[in-house]
Structure 1
Amino acid sequence: MTPTPASDTAGQARGLFRELTGAGPAGTWSAPGRVNLIGEHTDYNDGFVLPFAIPFRTHVALAPRTDGILRVVSTFDPVPVEVHLTDLDALFPARRDEVPEWARYPLGIAWALLHASGTAAGDVGGADLAFASDVPVGAGLSSSAAIEGATATALADTWGLDLDRVALARAGRTAENEAVGAPTGIMDQMASMLGEADAAIFLDCRTLAAEVVTLGFDAAGLELIVIDTGVKHSHATGGYGERRAACERGAAALDVAALRDVTVADLPRLSERVDDVTFRRVRHVVTENRRVLDTVEVLRDSGPTVIGDLLVASHASMRDDFEISVPELDTAVEAALTAGALGARMTGGGFGGAAIALVSRDGADAVAEAVRTAFDEHGFAAPHIFPVTAGPGAGRDD
């Protein structure tokens, strides 16, 4: 099954850095993408999520400058983007469209870090940053949080900022919301910053309290496979923002701060106050929060072999109530379950991207083949299918 993490993405970043500057970097840092085991579109509703960091990472090679210039370049866009630190406040958020979209992530992080730390632009030097990544883009694995996490750890170390990992995750959310213009929550950034081996991060998105929950997939003879449909999505455009607005309408109708404060018992009352679409959007978030809590309890009490039904229910809710699935994702889930997967669901923001399937190690190849066959029968492009394991969060590599 492919793809696998590139063997020397850090080397690619260092090589690109040398092409940019003619010298070697001061160091390299990296941060992972993430898979969300369960808890979709709950994060910006102050709810609960259960993601884990994956082996695919974005690497950045960096060296400080003394002239206040930030210069960024990446393997997927070889044209450097250069901004003076003192110009960041003018750019973000009002003039963000003047910056290439990919560059808004690292430049937005720099802007958010300065504000979060109370540091004046003139008090830190600039930097050259070169990025390389093996996180699949557009697959719902949060390539955006990976570039944010890599940039945040690199600049915080280089500038000597006194910010903990939660603060760095908050800076990532600020950058994505305001510098990029994507109305996402904080789940992705927290997973990328806090990831641990063989563990998911049970995150309360209201308090940002995080608990490590052992997954135990390997010990149970299980694998989690990602089925990347190849259908691209963008959080900065339409459907995501519309779903968030519906959630806000639902919370307002019940006079609560966020859907975190709504229980299943409140849903009949809500149905009398809002239209059907808004009701179904809210019902997904409320029931998904419950499924996250149930999944954590089951993992702790019984282990991963019995979480499958919760994954399946999550997908049905996203398909029918939140309406963010697409035919390719539904086909992936249905084919995986028919071939013996314990559970399967789409993962990520929706409108494309990837599904995940929890499978027995011995049955992983059969499930993958069944999904490929189903895609071929439906006339879909071949999916990319690969296993993922839970790994460490952001940090300095050398």
Structure 2
Amino acid sequence: MLLIARAPVRISFAGGGTDLPAYFMRYGGQVLSVTLNRYVYTILSPAPRAAHLISANYSLFHQYAPDRDAMWDGNLSLPRAILEAFGSPGGIDLFIAAQVPPGTGLGSSGSLAVSMIAALAAWSGWSLSRAEIAELACQIEIERLGMPVGKQDQYAAAFGGLNRIRFDPHGVTVERVHLAPEIRQALERRLRLFYTGQARPSSRILKAQQQATAEEDPQVLRRLHLLKVLVEDMEECLTMGNLDGFGRLLHEAWTLKRGLASPISNDFIDRCYAASREAGALGGKITGAGGGGFLLLYCPEDAIERVTETMTRMGLKPMDVAFDDEGVQVFRVE
């Protein structure tokens, strides 16, 4: 038997940073995000004895041995920790691969965790809900490995779709945002992703942001409070069909976000963003924590081609995407 699990990556529009425990445990947080039809895959198949872990993205091979793997470091620290959470998995070949480069701000580590957990749960006969898969992924990333990440990526990957995700000390709530079909199609056309060619680890940015939040830096807290409010304003624009208004709020959110920590943007990103605005984009942002990855832009219909040409001339690579509504899925092949 072959078992395949996939979990989508995501783009978030506003509220990033309020999903960090340092913030939402005090003030409550919320994020507006949507998942894309780009996935992180986990493929399981039987093996004679040991558990073999292979990563296409990092060109790495690892043989799991519980008595030897006390230290969790390197590029495979997360999948190794997930394997440990399931105990001795027996003889399996576990292959992981992503349709996006790592470190590009699309939440691929959270998608990897959700994909692996769903696959191993199905292989082991565990019955886990989407919320349980997401929460186990958060527990492993945040508590077990001490990664300075929030909870939005894991829940987005598990549930899929366009959602407002709320975080508070009592738990996480995922609320689907429903759009009329013609509004959804227009939004998909007008949102454009451009790869900057700059991959970056988000840990340094998130650590600085988390520390500033924990220390109650007034400027950081003010920006996070405003970003949280923008989630509601953006949702209202989308449901009312005011897409250009949503695009302008995206610009407002980026202006707030880039002031959270200095490495979030750089001269090249600023030049690209300024050029996109001159070409007609109403708003945008760097995906994820910032520092590189993909530049997300909202373009009115008559500016899409002009913005794409401008970004291409500056060396950015467009990536066509559509929204995903399914979240994590598991397929069995006999």
Q: Same fold, TM exceeding 0.5?
A: yes
> Which residue of structure 2 aligns with residue 73 of structure 1?
54
**CA deviation string 1:92-150 (max 9, x = no partner):** xxx212xx32x2222222334x4xxxxxx36x545320122212322211221222122
Is the CA contact 1:224–1:389 (under 8 Å) kept in the aligned structure 2? no
Provide the secondary structure at the position in 2 that maps to 1:292: helix
Change in CA separation of 1:342 and 1:79 when aligned onto 2, cut-off 3 Å: closer
Q: Does 1:385 align with 2:324?
A: no
Change in CA separation of 1:325 and 1:220 when aligned onto 2, cut-off 3 Å: closer
Q: Does 1:227 align with 2:208?
A: no
Q: Does 1:351 align with 2:291?
A: yes
Aligned partner of 1:49 among 31, 42, 49: 31
Is the CA contact 2:103–2:202 (under 8 Å) kept in the aligned structure 1? no
Note the C-alpha offset of 1:43.
Answer: 0.8
Note the C-alpha offset of 1:221.
Answer: 7.9
Is the CA contact 1:172–1:189 (under 8 Å) kept in the aligned structure 2? yes
CA distance in 2, matches of 1:128, 1:299: 44
CA distance in 1, matches of 2:294, 2:130: 27
Provide the secondary structure at the position in 1 that maps to 2:275: helix
Aligned partner of 2:237 among 275, 281, 298: 298
> Which residue of structure 2 aligns with residue 22 of structure 1?
none
Provide the secondary structure at the position in 1 that maps to 2:289: coil
Aligned partner of 2:228 among 286, 289, 297: 289
Q: Matches of residues 1-398 of structure 1 in structure 2 within 5 Å?
A: 26-44=2-20, 45-46=23-24, 47-64=29-46, 69-84=50-65, 86-87=66-67, 91=70, 95-97=71-73, 100-101=74-75, 103-112=76-85, 114=86, 121=87, 125-178=90-143, 180-196=145-161, 200-206=162-168, 207-215=171-179, 216-219=183-186, 222-236=189-203, 238-250=204-216, 278-323=217-262, 324-373=264-313, 375=314, 382-391=315-324, 392-398=326-332
CA distance in 2, matches of 1:318, 1:354: 15
Normalising by structure 1, what TM-score? 0.74
> Which amino acid in the other structure matches residue 122 of structure 2?
D
Provide the secondary structure at the position in 2 that maps to 1:80: strand
**CA deviation string 1:47-96 (max 9, x = no partner):** 110111111112221024685x4321022344421123x449x62xxx21
Identity across aligned pairs (percent)?
Answer: 25
Is the CA contact 1:225–1:359 (under 8 Å) kept in the aligned structure 2? yes
**CA deviation string 1:153-207 (max 9, x = no partner):** 10011111132111111222223235554210110111111113xxx11100223
Provide the secondary structure at the position in 1 that maps to 2:269: helix
**CA deviation string 1:241-268 (max 9, x = no partner):** 1210110111xxxxxxxxxxxxxxxxxx
Provide the secondary structure at the position in 2 that maps to 1:48: strand
CA distance in 2, matches of 1:181, 1:82: 23
CA distance in 2, matches of 1:356, 1:330: 13
CA distance in 1, matches of 2:142, 2:52: 22
> Which amino acid in the other structure matches residue 27 of structure 1?
L
CA distance in 1, matches of 2:214, 2:188: 42
Larger Rg: 1
CA distance in 2, matches of 1:210, 1:79: 35
CA distance in 1, matches of 2:251, 2:317: 21
Note the C-alpha offset of 1:289.
Answer: 0.4
Is the CA contact 2:45–2:92 (under 8 Å) kept in the aligned structure 1? yes
Change in CA separation of 1:141 and 1:220 when aligned onto 2, cut-off 3 Å: closer
CA distance in 1, matches of 2:187, 2:251: 20
> Which amino acid in the other structure matches residue 363 of structure 1?
A
CA distance in 2, matches of 1:371, 1:383: 5
Change in CA separation of 1:220 and 1:349 when aligned onto 2, cut-off 3 Å: closer
Count the aligned residue pairs. Answer: 319
> Which residue of structure 2 aligns with residue 17 of structure 1?
none
Change in CA separation of 1:138 and 1:361 when aligned onto 2, cut-off 3 Å: farther
Provide the secondary structure at the position in 1 that maps to 2:172: coil
> Which amino acid in the other structure matches residue 29 of structure 1?
A
> Which amino acid in the other structure matches residue 279 of structure 2?
A
> Which amino acid in the other structure matches residue 202 of structure 2?
H
RMSD: 2.3
Note the C-alpha offset of 1:342.
Answer: 2.9
